[in-house]
Structure formats: structure tokens, C-alpha cells
Homo-oligomer: A and B are copies of this chain.
Amino acid sequence: MKKRVSIKDIAEKVGVSTALVSYVLNGKEREARVGQEIAKKIRKVAADLNYQPNLIARGLKFGRTNTLGLIVADISNPFFATLARSIELEAQKNGYTVLFGSSDEQLDKSQNLINTFLSRQVDGLIITPVAGSQSQIEELKTKGIPFVLMDRGFSDLETSVVVTDNHEAMYSAVKLLTDNGYRKIGMIAYDTPLTHMQDRIKGYKDALKDAGIRFQSKWLKKVPFEDYKERVARAVLQLIDKKSQPVDALVFATNSISVQALKIIHAQKLVVPDDLGIISFDESDAFEFFYTSITYIKQNLNEISKKAVQTLLKNINSVTPKVERVIVPSTIVVGVSSGKKLKEKVVV
């Protein structure tokens, strides 16, 4: 690796002081009363030597690196990759670049990433927090590190957070199903105390209640992140089992759950939406080839990312940062899978 060209190299070549070079390259030759001739020469030598200003060193002077740290569950998951893309764009607009890392929903990885990013002097962090990481987040508060949680938060911890309208979105989805005549509606969700999942489950239950349907605990299946594929498969088979009052519709709390569930529904030759109504939270490329179009909740990922960066930058630039809770509305993209108004079904 060649040594980088420094101000000293330019000064030596031109035969002036490093201070003079610094004045010129920072556009302050007037204040320093540098002659036009010599300023021109300094600029030419800098260009000839391919001099790159060291923004990191300059940033350190002002306690800034103009770098943000982004911690997602898994950057290879299209959901987080899409968020990362918009975060990159919004950060760029504001003169920031982004370091990224994946926590794999694991506490130790999350802590390692936080430590690494802090020792890299990031100006702030955007985090999709891991379940149980309250103490890690609390430590950031104590240290006064600017950060914002994204996609999920903690009910027992007051922090800045940008989330989708999880309760409202799932409520509307289930209401669409009850309006269309479905009465025995099941849900498959991840088993986690994180607010985004809790809010979706509550939205599901509240919609049932408001439709006058008594929730049955066997309708709600919670699967762990680990080996979720197999667990989703088992959950679907239990929910549609004809021997024990099967459900007539299903909502899935994430797109990864939806894809696995649809594979089983397909293999079991159930007809969607006649045998079973379906709504997914988030879309998937895989939906394109399912034999019927899938109704899904479409989060505004672009808006979530933008708001996350904006909220973080407000924190970074404020002497007395405020805790801000931003809820971004989503929409329902209605396909065939959620059925039509089937009047005859309404009579139970």
C-alpha cells in the first residue's frame, strides 16, 4: 500500500510551509493573504499528486466523522436490504456514509457491533434491536450516544423509534377478512417480546373482538426464529386440520412466515381463497408465482428509512435531544387471496 499524499508532501514540493498549503486547500488564501501565483501552484501540485483531503482527520477536529452505524438483523434479508438502501440514500443526501452490520437476532453480536461502531467514532446509530437488548440500548442513553431504533422498540424503554403502524395494519387486514365473511381466523407470528410483533398480535385480537368473534387461543401460533420453517409447516397443518374445527382464514405476521405457509397450503391442495382466506404482512417475490394473487400489508419502507435518518440527525445536531416516536402508515394491497364479500358466510 502506497503512503497517501499529505499536505506535507505538497509543501515540500512547492517549497512553502504546511500551514500555507492548508490555508489554500481550505479556501482561506484571502484571510491568510497568500499570493495568487503561489496559491495556483499549490493547487496544481495537489492535483498532480492526486491529493485527497482527509475528511476523517478533519472530522475528528470537530468531534464528527459524518458516519452512521446501521445494525439490522440480517443484511441479506430483502426486507432489511431494502431499508439499508433507502438509509444509504438519505444519509448520502446529508453528507453521511453508512457502516453496516448484522446482529442475527443475537445479543452478543448486537453488543459487539455497537462496540465496534462506537470505537469507529460513528456520529450515531440506527438499530433494529434484538429481543432482550434493553441494557445495551440503555447504556447508549447513559453515554449520550445519539441513536434511533427502527422497525421495533421496547415497551419498557423510552427511546426514539421509527416503526410501521403495526397494530393498525394488522387490525385492518383482519377486518378485511371478517368483512369478507371469514369467522375462524388464525395467525402465525414469531415468538418474541419485541413491540412490532406484540402490536401485530394485538391488532389481530382487537379486530376479532370488534367483529364480535371470540378469540380462541389455538388459533394463534407463535414460532421461534430458529428452525421457523419446520415450525411454520407444523402450525399450518394444525390450523387446517379437518378433525378439529379448522380455521377458514389465516394472517401471517411476516413475509418469511407467509412463504413457508403458502408452500404447505399449496402442497395440501387447499384452494385460496375459497377454502382459506390469506393475508400476509409484507410482500415477497415468491408471491408472483403462487397460483392466486396474495393480499398483503405494504409497509412504507422508504418513509421508515428516511424518518430514521432524519430523527437520528436531529438527535446528533441537538444539544438537548428529544425522544421521538414516529409511526409510519402502511397500506393494504388487495389481491384475490383475501376473498370477496361472501354474504352467505356471514351467517355462522
Could you list which residues of chain A lie within 8 angstroms of chain B, going by C-beta atoms? 1-4, 50, 52-57, 60, 63, 65-67, 74-78, 81-82, 84-85, 88, 92, 97-102, 115-121, 123-124, 139, 142-146, 259, 262-263, 266, 284-291, 315-319, 321
Contact = CB atoms under 8 A, between A and B. Distances in A.
Given A1-B315, A75-B84, 13 more contacts: A1-B144, A53-B119, A54-B60, A55-B120, A56-B56, A57-B60, A57-B121, A60-B60, A74-B85, A78-B78, A100-B100, A284-B285, A287-B289
Given A52-B119, A286-B285, A146 B1 contact: yes
A166 B219 CA distance: 49
A102 B82 CA distance: 12
Contact of A81 (B76, B98, B259): B76
A221 to B, nearest CB: 21
A218 B52 CA distance: 49
Contact of A263 (B3, B288, B315): B288
A124 B4 CA distance: 12
B50 A56 contact: no
A100 to B, nearest CB: 6
B288 A143 contact: no
A143 B50 contact: yes
Contact of A118 (B52, B119, B120): B52
Nearest to A50: B143
A56 B65 contact: yes
A75 B102 CA distance: 14
B85 A2 contact: no
A319 to B, nearest CB: 8
Contacts of A98: 99-101
Contacts of A75: 75, 81, 84-85, 88
Nearest to A124: B1
A56 B120 contact: yes
A3 B88 contact: no
A120 B122 CA distance: 12
B120 A63 contact: no
A43 B102 CA distance: 31
Q: Chain B CB within 10 Å — which of A74, A81, A84, A124 has the most? A: A81
Nearest to A55: B119
B262 A121 contact: no
A143 B99 CA distance: 24
The 3 A-B residue pairs whose C-beta atoms are closest, nearest first, are A2-B144, A289-B289, A81-B81
A101 B1 CA distance: 23
A90 to B, nearest CB: 13
Q: Chain B CB within 10 Å — which of A63, A76, A78, A286 has the most? A: A76
Contacts of A65: 56, 120
A97 to B, nearest CB: 5
Q: Chain B CB within 10 Å — which of A85, A291, A318 has the most? A: A85
Contacts of A63: 3-4
